[in-house]
Chains A and B, each alone.
Chain A
Amino acid sequence: MKKGKITITITIGLACFVLVLILFMQFKVVYQTDITSIDTMKEDELRTELANWKQKYNETEEKYKNTEDTLKKYKEESSSDKDTRKTLEKEIEDAKLVLGLTNVEGPGLIITYKNSDNIEQTINQEESTDKYIGATDLLRLVNHLKDAGAEAISINNQRIINKTDFAQINDTTYIKINSKRVSAPFEIKVIGDADYLKGALIGTGFVSDQKKYGQTIEFEEKKKLTINKYDGNMDLKYIEE
């Protein structure tokens, strides 16, 4: 064999060796590489990816912030709405309470106010109006009670409110309270300090005055009594704010 040919053989063999060596290395790299894995990414690819993610992050964060702001606003609005509503409701409740449009409870007195038992026999015509319990008597009674700090009053379940009227229908039997007929005996419920109320009626001479006509007034203290609300209508026709 010529020397030249051996050289050629060895050279080509060597070249093939190197070629296949690199070839297989590359095969291996390509085969084993997960292109999406970070380890194998090129630097600029990573940089691009990073930039993308950063942008995405910023966008998302901005969105998040916006949403949070909106949420906050909504929350504030809703809470302030709630507060306003609560205050308004409270005010309405208070107003109703004062006006007598709600059933109320509290300590107080039950006053039983009766005509004389044998009134039919004892009256003569002239005295009759005085001996019967009249609207003015009730009005005086209520006035005294109010003076003593009564917070709620009802007569035969007719709640006394600012609109309440006391009217004598005829001279004797019937009285109109809240435009409804009531007649003796009267059961007057009062919420307030029982001692003051009693004192007001006795101390002012109201009880003794009425006793002169044979009328009886009895007091019953109660720890807790219920006074019903005013059940008429409260429509206003003429007044305006």
Chain B
Amino acid sequence: MVLIAIVIGCVLGAIIGINLPIISYTYSTYLAIAIIAALDSVFGGITGVLKGEFDFKVFISGFFCNAILSILLTYLGTKLNVDIYLAAIVVFVGRMFINLTIIRKYYIDKWSKKIEEIKNKKKN
């Protein structure tokens, strides 16, 4: 069910995204940072679902707030002539790796349990 939602969301997003007008290169940095933030939120959400801790409000607020906050920080960075977006990328990507690790571990556990079960069944 969740997978179907993800696929539908991705396809719809792709179709609409391709047909939208091109935005100025000036703002592409902001867009990129928003993408990283959103990706981070999505992975966080998936991790939450897997752990059974998923909170709708936390996910949505995290998704949009992180994106907007990172954009604002990037903007501030350009005004201060400091590449703050680098910090945002480091944090988001770091968290993405942590979440990915959790997801990976979860599925590995799941599969190894299944394999053991099958083995036990065969033994029995």
Contact = CB atoms under 8 A, between A and B. Distances in A.
A10 to B, nearest CB: 7
Interface stretch (A18-26, A83-91, A141-149, A217-225): A18-26
Contact of A18 (B4, B13, B32, B45): B13
Interface string A1-30: 100010111111111111111111111111
Given A8-B2, A9-B5, A26-B32, A16 B22 contact: no
A13 B13 CA distance: 10
A20 B8 contact: no
A11 B61 CA distance: 11
Given A17-B10, A40-B24, A10 B5 contact: yes
A43 interface: yes
Q: How large is the interface on B (under 10, 10 to 19, 20 to 34, 35 or more residues)?
A: 35 or more
A9 B39 CA distance: 17
A13 B11 CA distance: 10
Interface residues of A, number: 35
B13 A17 contact: yes
A41 interface: yes
A18 B64 CA distance: 10
A237 interface: no
Nearest to B39: A19
Interface string B1-38: 11011101110111011101011111010011011001
A8 B54 contact: yes
Contact of B25 (A10, A12, A17, A29): A29
Interface in A23-53: 23-30, 32-33, 35, 39-44
Q: Is the interface of A mostly helix, strand, loop or mixed?
A: helix
Nearest to B63: A15
Contacts of B90: none
B13 A8 contact: no
B75 interface: no
Contact of A28 (B2, B17, B32): B17
Interface in A148-166: none
B56 A7 contact: yes
Nearest to B18: A24
A30 B28 contact: yes
B59 A16 contact: no
A1 B1 contact: yes
Contacts of A17: 8-10, 12-13
B78 to A, nearest CB: 8
A13 B31 CA distance: 20
Contact of A12 (B6, B26, B31): B6
Contacts of B25: 29, 33, 35, 39-42
A29 B5 CA distance: 27
B38 A29 contact: no
Interface of B: 1-2, 4-6, 8-10, 12-14, 16-18, 20, 22-26, 28, 31-32, 34-35, 38-39, 41-42, 45-46, 49, 54, 56, 59-60, 63, 78
The 4 closest A-B CB pairs, nearest first, are A24-B17, A20-B13, A13-B5, A16-B9
